[in-house]
Every structure is written in structure tokens, then in C-alpha cells.
Amino acid sequence: MSGLAGIQAINVFGGMACLDVRELCIHRGLDTSRFENLLMQEKTVALPYEDPVTFAVNAAKPIVDQLSEQQRSRIEMVITCTESGLDFGKSLSTHVHKLLDLQPNCRLFEIKQACYSGAAGLQMAVNFILSQTSPGALALVITTDISRFALADANAVQEWAYSEPSSGAGAVAMLVSDMPEILQLDVGAYGNYAFEVMDTCRPGPDTEAGDADLSLMAYLDCCAGAFKDYSDRVQGADFKSTFSQLCFHTPFGGMVKGAHRQLMRKLHKAKPEEIHEDFEQRLSPSLTFGQRVGNTAGGSVFVALAGTLDAGEVNEPIRIGLFSYGSGCCSEFFSGVATSKSQSLLKEMRIAEKLDRRYRLSIEEYEMLLSGKSVVRFGTKDAELDHQIIPSAWPVSGNGDLLVLDNLVNYQRNYKWI
């Protein structure tokens, strides 16, 4: 019986189009000094023919394609983690299962708990693997979220101010098994902290509401509380010395910086210079991809993990501390071990290269998409998608491995490969 479990493979999909967030801030007339605190460069903007299903499948396909037929047949659980669901009853995982052509002996379900959903899905899958109820089985955990800003009326954007530049879109797919070549989770090493708070919520399918200041305070409280629970469970755990690298849920880089500063002050009475140096060494690599896709909600902490493995130094086994926070709220601090092999396998996914290939939207194109006139809204019965709404964004010579939404017929979403 194996006592190992964790992430065997991971991939990040950052969509087909992006926007320069500095250009957006200037266009909105926002304070550029406050913008610097976001630590953002670009944000993914979902095109009308992209939805949470296409994002999820496009993240998972490169991982599944690497598996042998025998390995594919052992995927016995598909968990989608999202707050961008397309149906009040039907799980996104059913679409993902079909489009990836997986075996029918598979458990399919969806998790919703704001931005904590991805960590919840990973822990669910890890415990399935550890239980050995089906020795050798694999689980596919996919976080997928699209900001509802794309569904808003353009004249309402000012209400969100600095939330707009940081709200992105993206998906992270993780293959979970007893061969955790990307991240071997420390079994039993975790800490939770939760309480009810109305910091951010989605009271309607296409509506976002919240209190940014309250959300910041809840995030900071949870970061301290979750790590305390972790240290209570893990003898000798020390925030400064136990973890070579750290990956936090990243609504924007400034919030991560604030949480790190609070813990360093509270736990170690660290001075500003030490805090800055520690952040640069242990957290700045985690921002590598997040500052290019924006807040990906449930996938944010795993976008940070991918960034750490891509940009950090992993010459020997290192322990990584991960913090996940979901509004409402629930949070978790957990940890795992990565190796130089983890880094080489992550780099094989060529995440940065794929982000570089995204179409760069102009402000005029973004505003047109933001009006929502071309977006398939929640509950739409029939629709034809205009794949040429922004002609330059459509791949000129696709090779058939990128999924897009084609149409809706009597609520049924039909997809095609391009």
C-alpha cells in the first residue's frame, strides 16, 4: 500500500486573448501609483466562444494526451472546481469527461467554494488515492473560472475600479496519483480556517458583488489562522524556515505581499528589509504566471505553484507551503515537496510560450467584448457563436487540438476542435 499521493502532472491554460492592464488603468483614469501595488502585467480576457468547459478541456488535454491508453483508462475521478458553472444541476465535469474521451467507470462531480474550490478538489482526490480503494487509479482535478466582467455593461465598469485589471480567466489541470512527480503532498500536514463573511459573492449567474476592504481583512485573518492550525498539527513547523518557497492564492500580487508581511511581522518580528528580501526569494517566483492571467479564482494557488516551478531554483528537493483562500469563507494552508524533476516536467508544458501566443486585444476591442452583446449568457437556450468577432484572434492554422464553443441548441452546448 503506497503512502504517496499528490500531483503527477500540471498544466495552465491562459486563454486565447489578453489585455495590457497598464493600458487599461490609464484608459480608466486610475491612480497609477495604486496600480503598481497590483503587480500585474496582463490579464486573460475570455473570447465569446471560450467558456469554462473550453478552458478546462484545453488545460487538461496536453496532460491526457501524454498518457498511454492503459493509463487513460485508470482515470476514475474527474473533479471540476469552479464558481463559473453553466448549469445549476449539471456538472462541467460531464462535458470534460466526454470531450477528453475518458472511460465510463468514472466519478464525475463539481466543487464550488469560491477560490478555495481547487484546494478542496485536490485534497478530495489525494484522499481518494491514499485510501487505496482502487489501487493505481488516477484522478483529474481541473479548476476553471472566467471573470464575469466580460458579461457586464461597459458603463458599470467604474463600480469595480481596481478589481477590473486584476480579474482574469484561466484553468489549471492536475493529474493526481500515487506517483506525485510534480508535488508530493505532506500527508496530514494542513491547517484550515473558516467563518461566514459576505466579502465577495455571486448572487446571480452573471452578477458579482462584494466589499474589497472586507475581503482583504478576511484573507489576512485566514492566512494567519490557517497557518496556526497547520503549525498546531505539524510539530516544529516554522513559517520562515520550513518552506523553501511559498505559493498563495493571488487575487493580485499586492494582497500576497500584505499577507506575507503580516505573518513575518507577527511570527518573527521581521524588519522591512528582511521582509522584502524574503518575499523576493520565496514568493516572487510564484507571481510569474499570475501576473499574466489575472485572478483565476479556484486555480490561483496552482497558477502560483506552476510559476514557482517555472521560475524558481529547484536544484534539490524543496518543501513548498501553499495557502488557498475562498471568499465566504474557507481557507487552507498545506505543503508538499517538489524536485528538479518537477521543474523539468513543468517546463515541458511550455506554459509561458503559450501565453506569449495569445492575441493582444486593443482597448477598443476589449470595450466591445465588455459590452456583453456577443456573450452567451447563463441560461441561453439557442445561440450561434461568431468566431470572427475579432478576426485576428482566431487561429490562422489550427492543428485540431484547441477547443471552442460552436453553438447552443435547446440548451445543449456544442463544441468543436480547431
Catalytic residues: 83, 115, 249
Of 147, 146, 142, nearest to 94 by C-alpha is: 142
Backbone region of residue 188 per phi and psi (left: phi > 0; alpha: psi in -120 to 50; beta: other values): left
Beta bridge partner(s), residue 171: 13, 144
Distances (CA, A) of 203 to 200, 206, 209: 10, 8, 7
Whole-number Å distance between alpha carbons of 349 and 104:
27
The x, y and z cell numbers of residue 105, run together, are 467507470
Please, are residues 58 and 98 in contact by the beta-carbon 8 Å criterion? no
Whole-number Å distance between alpha carbons of 296 and 53:
14
Q: List all residues 6 or more positions away from 404 whose beta carbon is below 8 Å from its beta carbon.
A: 49, 50, 54, 385, 387, 415, 416, 418
Whole-number Å distance between alpha carbons of 351 and 371:
30
158-176 b/e (C-beta count within 10 Å ≥ 16 → b): eebebbbbbbbbbbbbbbb
Write out the E strands in 205-326. Answer: 207-210, 245-248, 318-326
Please, are residues 143 and 298 in contact by the beta-carbon 8 Å criterion? yes
Please, are residues 307 and 290 in contact by the beta-carbon 8 Å criterion? yes
Whole-number Å distance between alpha carbons of 273 and 120:
35
